[in-house]
Structure 1
Amino acid sequence: MSSRFFAVSTVRCITLSIAAWAASGATTAQSEPLSIKVLGQPAGSGLIQKNKEQPFFEGLAAKSGMNISLQYVPVDVAGIPDTDGLRVLKSGLFNIVSIRGPQVSRDEPTVMGLDLVGLNPSFEAGKKNTAAYFSTLDKRLQSSFNAKLLGVWPAGPQVIFCKPQIKGLADLKGMKIRVGDQSSANFVAGLGATGVPMPFGEVQQSLARGVVDCAITGPASANSGGWPEATTTVLPLALQLAVNGYAINLTTWNKLSPADQGKLQKAVEGLVADIWSYSQELYDDAMRCNTGANPCNLGKPYKLTAVPVTATDLATVKAALTERSLPVWAKQCNAVNPRCEADWKATIGAGL
């Protein structure tokens, strides 16, 4: 055998070995789990976070078979303002964020189009409207925040709790009312009241001390936050549904294999469907708990007075959508997203 033949054969063997090693290394690298950090709802926000969201994400990797390692942290535990959800997504600090719709709408008012005051008087209306608007919002988040929307869900009907006795919306004139977003602030302003933005954790003490007279939230959240200890009445008139959602950093999404993308989307859709049902269950139970009725299975019993909802008050909320909520929001939203109002009218608006 010539030395030349031996040399060529040796080179070929070395080349093949290097190629095999590289391929093996690439396969090993691809098989490494992708690290996913999830920023969740506040730990003190209620039973949806405790009983649905946190267990879902903590068990997601094992139950779905996805090639990921996952860490879940509630937003208040992380020490991050819940208003920064979209910024966190864009920065990649967390890969998945449980978006608090009313709060992040300050950064992206398009989000508020899901849940203007007067738009979603029931769970059924909410399902229809959020489905109609989903792809529009998803495209906006992808282009502006490098985030893909995975699903949306309601915390539940937002109703009014008051320390003074009231009989209806007309009695709110001149009062200070804690609000969760700009749409509810605009609504109470139309009633002659003053909207006061305030973190959820500060509301109970503010009601007790008279800093605010009334406050808006869902019955289950109010129950978990002890609001009935500082109030006398609840007006169970749904102003909004407090629509939240899940979104993933788009760069992270693109790192997932097509199979894992499908598994994640399917899993989140299952969680979202579960929360829609659970939210209604919580609302019904919490209204009974807050007013001393039975059965009260999930909350703490109180004895608030439930104010009967009148046809006049229902009409006031319904009219607020076209007379106040939509025009004010559209002006603000169009300023940052020129297609905002047109897209809303072509989707949700077309079905009204």
Structure 2
Amino acid sequence: MNFEKIRNMAVGLAVMVALAFTVSTGPVSAEMKKKEFKVVGTWSFLDHWKEREGPFWKERLPKLSGGKLTANAKSQTELGLSGFEIMRLLKLGVFDAVHGVTTYVAQDSPAIEGADLAGVIQDLGLYRKANEAYRDILAREFEEKYGAKLLMIYAWPSQQLFCNLGDKSIKSYPLSKLKGKKIRTYSTTLGDFIEGVGGSAVTIAFAEVVPALQKGVADCGLTGILPAY
């Protein structure tokens, strides 16, 4: 079944308490001190962790530093912590670096969600412009709320709407028909979007979305392409 896309690009954020090191491809400095960074990545079932975040901290960083810089890097899935819990632990110094999604870490700072307003960003070109314009605000929020430095921003898969309509012959489903539907969302901005088209936003943990759709607790669920897969 083809569902109408809501192209809401999630923003991946990497933040660190301090820019404590510089890695180059040249010879390792004899003065470089050994350090093991405590790192939290995103979800273990996503390519972001398997192909980028995990390999960088576990393989590339030690290799480029001659083994002097290493990391105890674990995925958010393995730790079982929510986004805002991870950010609070970052502030306390429990972690040195974390990767996260704006909508999952914005509980203590609603301004962070401004980088990812549902329905506004429709393609990667606009996504880049929006985040270039908003980067200083994000950097300020992370600095003031968590004492952290924003290091990078990268794109996540577009969000799609998955519904259990009870009829597999349906090939398209306009937003106008979402009126009255119970729809799982995971952020304030997505909730506002769904309420705006007449739906009822409900909060359901990611692991419970499929059972909720099967049991009729929710009619639809919003999530990214890769997590849904």
**Structure 1 length as normaliser, TM-score?**
0.52
What is the RMSD computed on CA atoms of the aligned residues? 1.7
With a CA cutoff of 8 Å and minimum separation of 6, indicate the structure with the bigger relative contact order: 2
Runs of 4+, deviation exceeding 4 Å: none
User: What secondary structure sits across from 2:107 in the alignment?
Assistant: coil
1:215 aligns with 2:216: no
Q: Which has the higher helix share?
A: 1
- 1:226-268 per-residue CA deviation (whole Å, 9 max, x = no partner) reads xxxxxxxxxxxxxxxxxxxxxxxxxxxxxxxxxxxxxxxxxxx
Q: Which has the higher strand share?
A: 2
User: What secondary structure sits across from 1:106 in the alignment?
Assistant: helix
CA offset at residue 132 of structure 1?
A: 1.5
Conserved in 1, the CA contact under 8 Å of 2:184 and 2:222?
Answer: yes
Please say which structure displays the higher CA radius of gyration. Answer: 1
31 and 190 in structure 1: CA distance in 2 versus 1, 3 angstrom threshold? closer
Structure 1 residue aligned with 2:189 = 183
CA offset at residue 146 of structure 1?
A: 0.5
User: Of 192, 197, 200, which aligns to 2:206?
Assistant: 200
Partners of 1:150 and 1:117 in 2: CA distance: 24
1:65 aligns with 2:71: no
Structure 2 residue aligned with 1:163 = 164
Structure 2 residue aligned with 1:288 = none
- Structure 2: runs of 5 or more not aligned: 1-30
User: What secondary structure sits across from 1:98 in the alignment?
Assistant: strand
125 and 63 in structure 1: CA distance in 2 versus 1, 3 angstrom threshold? farther
- Structure 1: runs of 5 or more not aligned: 1-29, 224-352
CA offset at residue 43 of structure 1?
A: 1.6
Conserved in 1, the CA contact under 8 Å of 2:57 and 2:70?
Answer: no
CA offset at residue 175 of structure 1?
A: 0.7
**Structure 2 length as normaliser, TM-score?**
0.78
Partners of 2:184 and 2:60 in 1: CA distance: 36
Partners of 1:152 and 1:139 in 2: CA distance: 14
- 1:305-344 per-residue CA deviation (whole Å, 9 max, x = no partner) reads xxxxxxxxxxxxxxxxxxxxxxxxxxxxxxxxxxxxxxxx
Equivalent residues in 2 for 1:145-294, closer than 5 Å = 145-164=146-165, 165=170, 167-223=173-229
Equivalent residues in 2 for 1:1-352, closer than 5 Å = 31-44=32-45, 46-65=46-65, 67-164=68-165, 165=170, 167-223=173-229
Question: Residue type matched to 2:209 in 1?
Answer: V
CA offset at residue 82 of structure 1?
A: 2.5
Conserved in 2, the CA contact under 8 Å of 1:39 and 1:94?
Answer: yes
Alignment: residue pair count:
193
Kindly, what percent of the aligned residue pairs are identical?
Answer: 28
- 1:50-86 per-residue CA deviation (whole Å, 9 max, x = no partner) reads 2222112211322432742211101121232223232
Question: Residue type matched to 1:51 in 2?
Answer: E
Partners of 1:181 and 1:116 in 2: CA distance: 10
- 1:83-112 per-residue CA deviation (whole Å, 9 max, x = no partner) reads 323212101111101122111111111210
90 and 175 in structure 1: CA distance in 2 versus 1, 3 angstrom threshold? same
- 1:94-147 per-residue CA deviation (whole Å, 9 max, x = no partner) reads 110112211111111121010111321111111111122112211221122100
Partners of 1:154 and 1:85 in 2: CA distance: 20
Partners of 2:129 and 2:64 in 1: CA distance: 28
